Chain A
């Protein structure tokens, strides 16, 4: 009994950590620009696919990872500069459609360059799973959790201790005021997209050994990340982490105890329930609307 529960919990936390990392990417861009970036999942895909294809070309794993992350970062900047910045006065829904167009474009390009097959990435350390009280944990799950924790710590440090991080926060709170105190908001937005892309690609790389990777892996993971971010409360880093983990655990528990057919429906119902009682998610800021 207990071992089964533990097994569902491990499964849920691993998936949930992935969702949390994607949700953080959403949060970052949302904070800086109030845009929901539907191309977030594609950063994940770029991370995994570029690493796999570079290693297949004989590039050492570590270098391949660095190059893949850099590629994603460049893509993030390009997305902001070429697609978001020119349309800065557009409606929010227009910006959403632009990011959807961008994600279809990136996916189409990836399919053209890398093909449609799924690819395997080996586990970073041992292929042997770890046994705990009768439940097993994939060693790669520890990497996902570890890398996730480090990234969260780095982000917290970045936003509370560095000038750039504070500038991003300031811009998110009040763009005009930020500009008045000398923050170059366009640069800040570009930075936010870049950091978000880096985050997404790292997530894509650490989960690839568990999920495999392909040109279209970003669609569903990106969507789940958005769901996690909304549960947690858009714009809250803490919310993204909690929302991601909660979503993962609920999915796994629903598959284990309720019905595997309806586990996704359970997860989506959870959002409705959360939003019903807390219209701004679990940790969303209570903002007074300016008239």
Chain B
């Protein structure tokens, strides 16, 4: 059964790769590449959050805080101290891991809504610090961030690159880069899920008491997955900042935390491909609704509410369920 499981996951990854690399055949507008790049990076953070929410069953309402620290640490180090992008990203991620480990141990002892409350508080404190430390972060008006660089080679949306002999624009290059990052994020997450750690996590989700009775160190595994999901957010935050070229504290805000968790739940908790779909839908929706102007907020709320009422398991699991049922029905008819 385990082998089947992994095979299913592998197909998910292949499917995602096909979508990612086929997309440039359908779009050519740089604006759309920009949007797709953003979605891919945010989806990467959501895949990490899903490990915590979907597999360990712990709710975080403060994940944007880690996303924000990742982005701001990289921004400060690269623009003020002349660091290169990758060391900044790595050191930032290590810093976030330490922070997440430190706050995670006491927080994760909490149950249900108290856990949400504590993560919310941590997220808020981070956002307040980023907003107030004007000398360092530029305050509420934000700060610029240089292009992403690897060993002196720069990846800028405004650049021109060549790949396998083809000339590609900076926008497309960024998109492909973000796509590869997303695939790597998914691959790592899937490996984690199928590892012994993943099995321990799922047992925590099922019943924490039962898991600890049979000898699973629940506290350790919960902290570990909390740290992993925070590092996901931190790395994606740093890349997101490099891509945007300018960041403000809104990327660490409570609103953004809520958006991230909504992507997980809307797409389908526990389904890696599902939560990516959640990210795509929630990032594209405002672009589509922009034409409704005054009605935008109302429609967004309505769509969110109705989707969750009628598809409480999320978009992908509900769709899969529906198809399964239909197929078994038709199969039954044949017999």
Contacts and interface: CB of A to CB of B under 8 A. Distances in A.
Interface of A: 30, 36, 83, 86-87, 89-94, 96-98, 100-109, 111-112, 223, 226-227, 230, 234, 261-262, 264-265, 268-269, 271-272, 275-276, 279-281, 284, 289, 291
A90 B261 CA distance: 16
Query: Is chain B's binding surface mostly helix, strand, loop or mixed?
Result: helix
Given A97-B266, A97-B308, A98-B305, A272 B298 contact: no
Contacts of B296: 108
B105 to A, nearest CB: 10
Contacts of B15: none
Contacts of B303: 101
A272 B299 CA distance: 36
B289 to A, nearest CB: 10
A101 B298 contact: no
B278 to A, nearest CB: 11
A182 B190 CA distance: 48
Given A91-B269, A97-B266, A104-B300, A264 B124 contact: yes
B319 interface: no
A262 B300 CA distance: 33
Interface in B244-276: 254, 258, 261-262, 265-266, 269
B207 A291 contact: yes
Given A97-B261, A279-B111, A105 B302 contact: yes
Given A93-B261, A94-B265, A276-B106, A269 B308 contact: no
Contact of A108 (B269, B301, B309): B301
11 contacts: A83-B309, A101-B302, A108-B299, A109-B298, A111-B297, A112-B298, A265-B125, A265-B129, A272-B106, A272-B118, A279-B111
A265 B266 CA distance: 30
A103 to B, nearest CB: 7
A137 to B, nearest CB: 29
* Interchain residue pairs A-B with the least CB separation, the first 5: A108-B298, A105-B301, A104-B301, A101-B305, A108-B297
Contacts of B117: 226-227, 230, 271, 275
Query: Is chain A's binding surface mostly helix, strand, loop or mixed?
Result: helix
A275 B110 contact: yes
A91 B310 CA distance: 13
B315 to A, nearest CB: 12
A280 B308 CA distance: 29
A279 B114 contact: yes
B139 to A, nearest CB: 11
Contacts of B118: 271-272, 275
Contacts of B305: 83, 98, 101-102, 105
B294 A111 contact: yes
A97 B265 contact: yes
Interface of B: 53, 59, 103, 106-107, 109-114, 116-118, 120-122, 124-125, 128-129, 132, 207, 209-210, 254, 258, 261-262, 265-266, 269, 294-310, 312-313
Nearest to B307: A101
Contact of A87 (B107, B122, B308): B308
A86 B306 CA distance: 10
B265 A230 contact: no
A94 B267 CA distance: 11
Contact of B59 (A83, A93, A102, A112): A93
Contacts of A291: 207, 209-210
B113 A101 contact: no
Nearest to B110: A279
B254 A223 contact: yes
Given A93-B53, A289-B209, A100 B114 contact: no
A269 B120 CA distance: 11
Given A87-B309, A269-B121, A271-B121, 20 more contacts: A30-B113, A36-B113, A87-B308, A90-B308, A92-B113, A100-B304, A101-B307, A102-B305, A104-B300, A104-B304, A105-B304, A108-B295, A111-B297, A230-B113, A265-B125, A271-B117, A271-B118, A272-B106, A275-B110, A291-B207
A210 to B, nearest CB: 23
Nearest to A265: B128
A31 to B, nearest CB: 13
B297 A104 contact: yes
B194 to A, nearest CB: 23
A262 B297 contact: no
A103 B301 contact: yes
Nearest to B133: A261
A100 B308 CA distance: 11
Given A90-B312, A91-B312, A268 B298 contact: no
Contacts of B261: 93, 97
Contacts of B129: 265
B285 to A, nearest CB: 12
Nearest to B123: A268
